Amino acid sequence: MQSNLKFNVVKNPDIKSIFDSFNQFNILIIGDVMIDSYMWGKVDRISPEAPVPIIMSTKQENRLGGAANVALNVQALGANPILCSVIGKDSKSKTFHNLLKKRNLTSEGILEDENRITTVKTRIISDNHHLLRVDEEIDTELKKEIETKFITEILTILSDKQVNAIIFEDYDKGCITPEIIKSIVDFANKNNIPTLVDPKKRNFSAYKNVTLFKPNFKELIEGSKIDIKKGDFEGIFEASQKLHSELSAKYLLITLSELGVFISHNNSFQTIPAEIRDIADVSGAGDTLIGTASLCLAAGLESDLIAGISNLAGGLVCEKVGVVPINKDQLIKEAIKKYS
């Protein structure tokens, strides 16, 4: 094991040219989409019926969430996202399609299934404090008939369009299955399309032969079954090597929250510390990070830049309340300041 080896860090990259190159890319995003619903209000009394706060609602809003938020981040960085998912055939599916239209996102890869419901996460917020979340969802795997139809739909899009990277955004809601993973990864590898994965527990071990695998620390220790502390980078490297071997992934990008990110490749690793931020809400940071990483990978960047720019992007959105996409101009300024 050569865990003491570090990547050669790229000096003075042309950040502006890198971000300009994003504008030419098509990124396919496969995964669990949802509606992020927000209720804002003010709490100034406790209920006489139970010891719970009463919120006087002042504003409500629906936003695209889950894999759809990854698409928004890809779009915000200048690229063209193609979103592929299965939603319900219900009143909320109409809301979802309207939200896509409002954000100028195509619905060509969205299938409706009358046996499912459209996932909605409702967050109740007062004075920037997240009080409660209510989830409406079905998280069983797709039935075989809709799974086959979904695979055909994705492969048709991949055959008809030039796709520069594929993201699997897995929230364990059942939209991604082992058969979908295998079919799409096989096609991608035959056609030299990089694949990136934001995994969850259910399909963790099914993502074999992908280009970049991005678990968080908790998912890493559960998936590798190695008991390590978050700051033990040698231990994290050992766990990453185990996953590299099991999944045959080229890159392993591990998010470590307040400790930044860790990326390993070719028996070496690099750690990128977190930037000091005024954290308001960590919701959606992982979506931003994987979306940014897909464009960095499509642009052919070195490992340290993939991790570094993605880490900057994930940190920036944590300064905003709620799930919001990255601001490209702000990210460019931060990247220039860090790398120039």
Neighbours of 46 (CB within 10 A): 11
Report the candidate in 84, 100, 81 with the shortest Cα–Cα distance to residue 92. Answer: 100
The whole-angstrom distance between residue 88's C-alpha and the CA centroid of its chain comes to: 21
Token couple for 94: 């109409």
CA angle 330, 319, 62 (to 5 degrees): 95
Structure tokens at 277: 């931020």
DSSP track, 274-317: PPP---S--TTHHHHHHHHHHHHHHTT--HHHHHHHHHHHHHHH
Residues 257 and 289: their CA atoms lie apart, in Å, by 12
Q: What would the two tokens of residue 88 be?
A: 């319900």
Q: Judge whether 254 and 267 are in contact, CB under 8 Å.
A: no
* Residue 326 to residue 320: CA distance in whole angstroms: 10
287 as an active site residue: the answer is yes
CA dist., res. 241 & res. 224, Å (int): 9
The helix/strand/coil state of 151 is helix
The residues pairing with 38 across neighbouring beta strands, listed in sequence order, are 61, 123
Which residue intervals of 139-258 are DSSP H helices?
A: 144-160, 178-190, 217-224, 233-247
Which of 36, 113, 170, 287 is the catalytic position?
A: 287
Q: How many residues does the chain have?
A: 340
Active centre residues (catalytic):
287
